[in-house]
Amino acid sequence: MEIRPWTPDDYDARAAIHNAIYPRHQRTVDQMRQEDQTWDRQFVRELVVMEQDEEVVGYGLYQHTPGMFHPRKFLIGVYVQPRLHGQGFGKALYNHLMAELHHHDPTMVRSVTFEDQERGVRFLGERGFHEERRFWESRLDVTAWNPEPFAHIPALVQQQGLEIKALRELQRDEGWSRKLFDLICAVERSMPTPEPITHDYERWLATRMSSPDLRPDSYFVALHAGEYVGLSSLWASQADTYLWTGLTGVKPAYRRRGIALALKLRSIDYARQHGHPVIVTDNEAGNRPMLAINERLGFARGVAELWLRKVFQEAA
């Protein structure tokens, strides 16, 4: 086996390996390319591939987490064709990455997997990783969803002087992007996270607002007297017909008024009208208010995404 730096010729192999490991979370070459092309070069990111007999059989990476940046904390990922699991390929990739990462003097390394990836969970546990966070993935069967129990909700929101608009309509107004960014910052600042969230307007424009998965017609914002107060968005999946839920949240001063529920209902209505059979969402296990909304709407809880961490030393 040989480990070498990644090149653009490896996109097809990377996508094939990822999709073989995570069939519920398919990714396309275009999605990977867009992620690479919009990566902010001020952050560390190193990617390698593993070859056997001139075939790419695995890849690995380590990188900063731009949204929760700390100069000595990193995310690591090891991906090997499932037919080769248990044959030492993952161990070799992991050891290579950790040796390279050592030069950055890390205090902590995180990795992400799913609870049904038993071999992956065990692999990380054997190397000193422990669960830090758990996100429940839930799915709504849009084709079987009954809107009648929620028919009164839009009127309740309207009676409070609120309206819900799609991003496409908001984009006609000057200053929409800054208003939306400020709303996202306000929502995320009130969310419990393992590291302080690091917001950057230009990076957000280059990554999220320029993403090929963005759908301005399924990105909804609640407004009160022109102020952006809540949002919920559905993002396209290039690999299937599902829609994936992005950030859903409301400014603290406007919570417990049914706004988040109304935004989710608007999203479901969009999926029904446009023939999308499934909406996928995930929520941090401790976020009981949002979990309760999704349960009320009929989302069925599935497999959990696990964030695990390995601590080398406490950061100053």
**DSSP-derived secondary structure for 17-47:** HHHHH-TTS---HHHHHHHHHT--TTS-EEE
Q: What is the rounded average pLDDT of the residues 213-229?
A: 97
Which tokens belong to 137?
A: 């993935």
Domain map of the chain by residue range?
Answer: 2-106, 138-305
pLDDT at 194: 86
pLDDT, tens digit, 9 for 90 and up, residues 160-211? 999 999 999 999 999 999 999 999 999 999 888 888 899 999 999 999 999 9
Architecture of the domain delimited by 138-305: 3-Layer(aba) Sandwich (3.40)
Strands ordered across the beta sheet of 162-166? 2-5, 45-52, 55-63, 73-80, 108-114, 300-311, 130-141, 278-284, 243-250, 227-236, 219-224, 162-166
Q: What is the rounded average pLDDT of the residues 283-293?
A: 93
Band the pLDDT of 314: cuts 50, 70, 90: low
Q: Residue 137 pLDDT more than 50?
A: yes
Decide if 2-106 and 138-305 have a common fold: yes
* Pairing of the two strands 130-141 and 108-114: unpaired
Q: What is the rounded average pLDDT of the residues 52-59?
A: 96
Q: How far apart are CA 144 and CA 242, in angstroms?
A: 15
Dihedral sign, CA of 189, 133, 13, 242? negative
CATH number for the domain formed by residue range(s) 2-106 = 3.40.630.30
Band the pLDDT of 316: cuts 50, 70, 90: very low
Average pLDDT, the chain: 95
Band the pLDDT of 237: cuts 50, 70, 90: confident
Q: Among 181, 272, 180, which residue's Cα sits nearest to residue 218?
A: 272
